Amino acid sequence: MPNYQQGDKQISDGVNLLISILVRYPEVGTITYNSSNQSIKLTFLLTGSPEKKHMDFITDHITHSLDAYHILKNMKDTLVEICMNSYENMAMLTIIRDVGSLSRGEIALIIALLREKAIDLLVTDQSEFLVEEDLLIQEELIENMLENMKKKYDSHSLIGIREDGRVLVFNK
């Protein structure tokens, strides 16, 4: 297996995008880029067993907020799928969005909504090493990589995960 480094030209915009989102937003548990339909799937973990009523409230709130965001941004024909699955001691919230209309602002909105409505349940992987300046750089990278992905689709499906405080990205 080849050994890639950040400066290598072989690293795709897709890999950098997944890494930047996972670094900038510790609430994202996993992120998947599907090259066949150019979509990104964000997965969030919630601890405990939230009641169905609370889970429905969170998904409805995110759905309505994204609808309003898309209307304000004059966005049409967007792929938005939101699903919440409950397991024994946790729940998994999945949001699928098309890369062509996804923006950094929309990702930030999703995170803000989750922080507001599910902060006591949301699993995060906070890093004490990131300072505000690093976070701003990650936001700029996300914006740039999203724009690059809209112009030139990556041919590889990718998955980014967190493991023991590290961010790992694999071909899917």
User: In total, how many domains does the chain have?
Assistant: 1
- If DSSP codes are grouped into helix, strand and coil, which group holds residue 64? helix
Please report the pLDDT score of residue 10 as a whole number.
39
Q: How far lies 27's CA from each of 21, 44, 46, 119, in Å?
A: 10, 7, 10, 10
Structure tokens at 85: 């699955």
Flag whether 44 is in a domain.
yes
Flag whether 159 is in a domain.
yes
Flag whether 103 is in a domain.
yes
Flag whether 22 is in a domain.
no
Give the range of the structural domain holding residue 34, as residue numbers without chain letter. Answer: 27-171
Q: What is the pLDDT of residues 106-145, one digit of tens each?
A: 999 999 999 999 988 899 887 666 667 777 888 888 999 9
Q: What is the pLDDT of residues 21-66, one digit of tens each?
A: 998 999 999 999 998 899 999 999 999 877 889 899 999 999 999 9
Taking the C-alpha atoms of residue 136 and residue 10, their distance in angstroms, rounded to an integer, is 25
Flag whether 5 is in a domain.
no
Dihedral class, residue 11 (left if φ above 0, else alpha if ψ from -120 to 50, else beta): beta
pTM for the whole thing? 0.87
Flag whether 6 is in a domain.
no
Taking the C-alpha atoms of residue 22 and residue 87, their distance in angstroms, rounded to an integer, is 23
Taking the C-alpha atoms of residue 44 and residue 33, their distance in angstroms, rounded to an integer, is 15
Beta pairing partners, 161 = 30, 168
Flag whether 16 is in a domain.
no
User: Quick one: CA dihedral 164, 169, 170, 172, positive or negative?
Assistant: positive
